Chain A
Amino acid sequence: MSKLGNLGARLYRGEVGYDFVGKRKIWYAVSILITITAIVGLAVRGLNMGIEFEGGAVFNTPKTSASVAKAEESAEKASGHDAIVQKLGDDKLRIQIAGVDIKKSDQIKKSLAADLDVKAEDIDADLVGPSWGEQIANKAWQGLAIFMVLVVIYLAIAFEWRMAIAALIALIHDITITVGVYALVGFEVTPGTVIGLLTILGYSLYDTVVVFDSLKEQSKDITKQTRQTYSELANKSINGTLVRSINTTVVALLPVAGLLFIGGGVLGAGMLNDISLSLFVGLAAGAYSSIFIATPLVADFKEREPQMKALKKRVLAKRAAAAAKGESAEAPEREADEADDVEDGPDDAAPAVVGPRTQPASRNRGRGRPSGKRR
């Protein structure tokens, strides 16, 4: 891990790093491509809506020796509709019948119980009227809309409107990708999926907000220096929080993966699986978008501001002058160090933080140590 730790340190100092913002056009293109694919997939293939949205019934039987074919026959005979029968682990069956109304379910249940040689009361049934899923979905859209409005307002207050817009775009991007994956792969959409999708809201933004927070902090006094443009600073913010972003995403994905592969594996399809699948896809998309889309977008928006334009000009002018002096080779490294200093400026000014300079004790302690040996 020490290598990772070192990498973290070098990322933090900006010694290494990927030029996320500089290469943003590539990533915008990638995202647009993915989004288009998702939309096309959605338009062409549509979503595979579960019976919760179409109306129908799902029966889960206990352990039975009956075959899938027999169960299918029995279910179709009893219901008069097509049945989908899946085998779950441990010889259980999951029988899904679309288009069955709730009233008919008892009859189907009885006939299934008789044909499959199990007790009727041991069969679990999930019966849904056709408008229920629609209602859940409508409520979900409503929730989504309200949440978006509130969060944009909040982010606009806590940060600024440009960040709020960028976060919103990233959020829409994540949802589109997730929905697109569902359309393309043909996973079934259930209320569990909707739940997962809605959870992505919070998560996707969580990640974005952490990067923005760092960016806001670092860019506080940006106009007072001439070493970095806003884009460069944004890029440094991303790189500086990259380790954290990776860790956060890994840690968030681990339980979800546990839910998806273990919880789902034991039970086969079910609510656990539905939620975790959409979460898994959405979380990955969320991590991607906060790094590759949201922050570069902020940089883009920001650089349109006249003062940022002026700053860019000054920075470039200074660099040109430095290059003329033949210092160009050294420039990047120096810049990185200097950036640290810039960063310290706002730190010290920030409330609740007192710079080490006001702490003679700790500084002396530090000084007393031979610096060379610490390395």
Chain B
Amino acid sequence: MAAPKKGRRQSAPGKPGRSLVFILIALVALTGGMFLSGHTTPRLGIDLAGGTSITLEAKNEPGQKNAINPTNMNTAVDIINNRVNGLGVSEAEVQTQGDKNIIVNIPKGTNEKQAREQVGTTAQLFFRPVITQAPGEPTPQPSDSASTGADKDKGKKDEKDKATDKATSPTSTPTSQGRAVSDALKDAPTPPASDKDKDGKKDPTPSADPATAKLQEKFTKLDCTDKKARVAAGQGVKPSEPTVACGKSPDGKTWDKFVLGPAEVNGKDVGKAQATINQNSGAWVVNMTFTKGGSKKFAKVTSKLSQQQPPQNQFAIVLDGDVVSAPSVNTTLSANAEISGSFDQESAKDLANVLSYGALPLTFHEQSVTTVSPALGGEQLKAGLIAGAIGLALVIIYLVVYYRGLSLIAIASLLVSAALTYAIMTLLGPTIKFALNLPAVCGAIVAIGITADSFIVFFERVRDEVREGRTLRPAVERAWPRARRTILVSDFVSFLAAAVLFVVTVGKVQGFAFTLGLTTLLDVVVVFFFTKPLMTLMARKKFFANGHKWSGLDPKRLGAKPPLRRSRTASAPVDPKEA
């Protein structure tokens, strides 16, 4: 017992400077990091910076229990992220929160309504027959447009003739077809049968359908290299109608555009999709399994498609209006299908993911939508900061009045704590995407009280020791271990509360809990590495050590006993005087 306590007693007061230097370095490093990273203010949450925050809750689709799992949630986040940022919105963030919530934060200045439409609906995955395909740039040549128009008509016809499964053929083939048809869709278990091209039955009736003409015009003008145009192309299209769409060409660099027939099979018909390596070719392929109903539909469609000529033997996999892949069909397929092409592991997995989860087994319901104009958000921040400043000022006044000189130490500690909190919050913005929202500001203000509490515990301990008749230096050293324990125990309780809240809750509560937990931790750091060493140093100063009446440690004011050995024999004669 004696050895450790002696060691600690001697070492702790012996090098208070070191701790102070340590915390100073930490502070400088954090501030430096702040400026180096170029983030000098904390990232503000949507409620302060202005913007829209949408909270979505996943709901199980009927018949799909346990669909709400981390994999599905992450896929949903990816898909929603693609959609929201496909709007041309930068910095929109999509993240999961809790087990079944997705928060979408869209900064100010974006089309909130459009964003909400994008976010609110389930991802749409369809298989549509390809009618025309062309490179992604607008195609103004009249001849080309004429030919594609014919294709288009055929598509229309195709739709009508679907039941009779009449094969139709293209009137002309776009120049780029060859490039895009590197993917192939085939029956997984059987080797590809080259039973294609029942060509020749030309569709003779170029209809004057205005919708068709419109679609044709759209196709001609479509510029897939333009992001906005791409997004616009797929919007508001019913599955039962033909549409235009863009898709990455297989090399992944350029864009192709398509005229697509009505959706024949949809994402819900896909039972499972997996990226695997084909045993024969050794290449990455994607294996799909269809549901019962899906197999029937798929068989029907593939039998039709396989008799077509390129590019009409292609089957476009369309996710949210974008052509993800457009494999060609060589034979009639049913329950199982393999998509081969120039996949690498990643792209195969991506496609498999899209096929599996593209039409998510989850539907999302908007739980809350908050729109905040920047003006009001800024005002709230201002009010919060004013409140914080006033709260801090009140605390300082109270400390000065009550603790006098000691309050200098408390104030310095509070300032260090505030500086650390600010720097860390700022740095956490780019690193873990921490965003300061209004509840977090509240948390920080409340934390002023928590931090000040620790000083009060320590100071009261020191004063108690002084009351016992000790001089300041031993009083500080004696008070510290006891104060330290109290501070640790009570801060642990605070931290526990914050941690539980952070883990369990969602939304606004979480930001608050995070701030509270962070400041509690910082409180411990500051008390240990700043307040205590500073106190030790100050105890050597005459002002404090001699108990100046403004030091807050004036033994007389504290009603100290005379500095005699405290025993019954000593206290007995003193008592009468005291009374």
Is there contact, CB below 8 Å, between A263 and B384?
yes
**A10, B558: Cα distance in complex, Å:** 9
> Which residues of A from 237 to 275 have beta carbons under 8 Å from B?
240-241, 243-244, 247-248, 250-259, 262-263, 266-267, 270-272, 275
Contact indicator per residue, chain B 1-16, by CB within 8 Å of chain A (1) or not (0): 1001110110000000
Measured CB to CB, the nearest residue on chain A to B1 is A351
Measured CB to CB, the nearest residue on chain A to B494 is A202
| Contact residues in B for A206 (Cβ distance below 8 Å) | 450, 453, 490-491, 493-494
Among B130-138, B318-326, B479-487, the stretch in contact with A = B479-487
| Contact residues in B for A253 (Cβ distance below 8 Å) | 449
Among B206-214, B295-303, B365-373, the stretch in contact with A = B365-373
Is there contact, CB below 8 Å, between A372 and B577?
yes
For residue B24, CB closer than 8 A to chain A, the reply is no
Is there contact, CB below 8 Å, between B439 and A192?
yes
Measured CB to CB, the nearest residue on chain A to B520 is A202
> Which residues of A from 324 to 360 have beta carbons under 8 Å from B?
333, 337-338, 340-341, 344, 347, 349-354, 356-357, 359
For residue B232, CB closer than 8 A to chain A, the reply is no
**A83, B574: Cα distance in complex, Å:** 73
| Contact residues in A for B231 (Cβ distance below 8 Å) | none
Known A136-B509, A150-B500, A151-B493: A256·B449 in contact at CB below 8 Å: yes
> Which residues of B from 457 to 477 have beta carbons under 8 Å from A?
457, 460, 463-464, 467-471, 473-474
Is there contact, CB below 8 Å, between A210 and B486?
yes
For residue A375, CB closer than 8 A to chain B, the reply is yes
Q: Which one of B365, B368, B395, B439 contacts A127 once the chains associate, using CB atoms below 8 Å?
A: B368
> Which residues of A from 104 to 124 have beta carbons under 8 Å from B?
105-106, 121-124
Is there contact, CB below 8 Å, between B369 and A9?
no
Is there contact, CB below 8 Å, between A356 and B556?
no
| Contact residues in A for B384 (Cβ distance below 8 Å) | 259, 263, 272
Is there contact, CB below 8 Å, between A62 and B376?
yes
Contact indicator per residue, chain B 480-522, by CB within 8 Å of chain A (1) or not (0): 0110011001111111111011011111110011001000000
Q: Which one of A266, A363, A375 contacts B386 once the chains associate, using CB atoms below 8 Å?
A: A266
**A13, B43: Cα distance in complex, Å:** 51
Measured CB to CB, the nearest residue on chain B to A190 is B508
| Contact residues in B for A275 (Cβ distance below 8 Å) | 439, 442, 446, 512
Is there contact, CB below 8 Å, between A266 and B383?
yes
| Contact residues in A for B394 (Cβ distance below 8 Å) | 254-255, 257-258
| Contact residues in A for B372 (Cβ distance below 8 Å) | 124
Is there contact, CB below 8 Å, between A140 and B505?
yes
Is there contact, CB below 8 Å, between A371 and B564?
yes
Among A177-185, A193-201, A293-301, A309-317, the stretch in contact with B = A193-201
For residue A147, CB closer than 8 A to chain B, the reply is yes
Is there contact, CB below 8 Å, between A6 and B557?
yes
For residue A139, CB closer than 8 A to chain B, the reply is yes
> Which residues of A from 61 to 120 have beta carbons under 8 Å from B?
62, 102, 105-106
Is there contact, CB below 8 Å, between A140 and B446?
no
Among B329-337, B353-361, B398-406, B423-431, the stretch in contact with A = B398-406
Is there contact, CB below 8 Å, between A251 and B456?
yes
Is there contact, CB below 8 Å, between B507 and A271?
no
Is there contact, CB below 8 Å, between B563 and A371?
yes
For residue A233, CB closer than 8 A to chain B, the reply is no
Q: Which one of A105, A121, A344 contacts B566 once the chains associate, using CB atoms below 8 Å?
A: A344
Is there contact, CB below 8 Å, between A267 and B379?
yes
Is there contact, CB below 8 Å, between B467 and A367?
no
Measured CB to CB, the nearest residue on chain B to A275 is B442
Q: Which one of A155, A240, A255, A270 contacts B380 once the chains associate, using CB atoms below 8 Å?
A: A270
Contact indicator per residue, chain A 8-29, by CB within 8 Å of chain B (1) or not (0): 1110110000000000000000
Best-surrounded residue of B386, B394, B441 (most CB of chain A within 10 A): B394
For residue B432, CB closer than 8 A to chain A, the reply is no
For residue B64, CB closer than 8 A to chain A, the reply is no
Is there contact, CB below 8 Å, between A199 and B470?
no
| Contact residues in B for A6 (Cβ distance below 8 Å) | 557-559
> Which residues of B from 380 to 410 have beta carbons under 8 Å from A?
380, 383-384, 386-388, 390-392, 394-395, 398-399, 401-402, 404
| Contact residues in A for B387 (Cβ distance below 8 Å) | 255, 258-259, 262-263, 272
Is there contact, CB below 8 Å, between A125 and B369?
yes
For residue A306, CB closer than 8 A to chain B, the reply is no
Measured CB to CB, the nearest residue on chain A to B376 is A124
Q: Which one of B373, B442, B505, B574 contacts A371 once the chains associate, using CB atoms below 8 Å?
A: B574
Best-surrounded residue of B509, B555, B571 (most CB of chain A within 10 A): B509
Known A195-B512, A209-B489, A258-B387: A251·B568 in contact at CB below 8 Å: no
**A262, B574: Cα distance in complex, Å:** 51
Known A8-B558, A356-B474: A199·B367 in contact at CB below 8 Å: no
Best-surrounded residue of A12, A122, A357 (most CB of chain B within 10 A): A12
**A258, B394: Cα distance in complex, Å:** 8
Known A8-B463, A122-B375, A248-B453: A198·B446 in contact at CB below 8 Å: no
In the assembled complex, the CB of B200 is this many whole angstroms from the nearest CB of chain A, namely 52
Q: Which one of A257, A349, A353 contacts B481 once the chains associate, using CB atoms below 8 Å?
A: A353
| Contact residues in A for B574 (Cβ distance below 8 Å) | 371
Known A9-B467, A209-B489, A337-B575: A366·B366 in contact at CB below 8 Å: no
Is there contact, CB below 8 Å, between B494 and A203?
yes
In the assembled complex, the CB of A105 is this many whole angstroms from the nearest CB of chain B, namely 7
Is there contact, CB below 8 Å, between A191 and B509?
yes
Q: What 7 new A-B contacts, CB under 8 Å, besides A1-B557, A251-B456?
A: A9-B558, A143-B503, A147-B501, A151-B496, A198-B509, A266-B386, A272-B384
Can you list 14 residue pairs at the A/B interface with Cβ under 8 Å? A102-B366, A102-B368, A106-B113, A126-B368, A129-B367, A147-B501, A244-B460, A255-B446, A258-B388, A258-B394, A267-B383, A270-B380, A349-B1, A375-B577
A-side residues, CB < 8 A to B, are 1-2, 4-6, 8-10, 12-13, 52, 60, 62, 102, 105-106, 121-129, 131-132, 135-136, 139-140, 142-143, 146-147, 150-151, 154-155, 158, 191-192, 194-195, 198-199, 201-203, 205-206, 209-210, 213-214, 217, 240-241, 243-244, 247-248, 250-259, 262-263, 266-267, 270-272, 275-276, 279, 333, 337-338, 340-341, 344, 347, 349-354, 356-357, 359, 362-363, 365-367, 369, 371-372, 374-375
